[in-house]
Amino acid sequence: MPGVYRTPGPAGSRDGSVALLRSTSTRDVMDFNMVQGPFTITVGPGVKAVKTSRCQPWHRLGDTLEAAVAGVPRPTSPRRT
């Protein structure tokens, strides 16, 4: 499903990875990244499959990056007395 997804990072001491694929073939890679910490991907209309390895669970943040950012709570400023 298209949208913006985020993982807290690798599922162990080794790096994780994520590949965006043009088809369901793992040889048809559009983009590949190593995951060493919190990581965000955008799955657009050209992505037919996503292959992940050694990552903590991915969570959908929204349809677009703008929507995902808009949903992040902003820190509040300390009140002046």
pLDDT tens digit sequence for 54-67: 999 999 999 887 77
Q: How many helices (H) and strands (E) does the chain have?
A: 1, 6
Predicted confidence (pLDDT) at residue 74 exceeds the cutoff of 70: no
Tokens matching residue 25: 């073939």
Integer Cα distance of 41 and 64 in angstroms: 10
User: Residue 2 above 70 pLDDT?
Assistant: yes
Mean pLDDT (the chain) is: 90
Q: Residues near 81 by Cβ (< 8 Å), separated by ≥ 6? A: none
Beta carbons of 78 and 40 less than 8 angstroms apart: no
pLDDT (tens digit per residue) in 11-57: 999 999 999 999 999 999 999 999 999 999 999 999 999 999 999 99
Determine which helix (DSSP H) or strand (DSSP E) holds 18, and give its type and residue range. Answer: strand 16-21
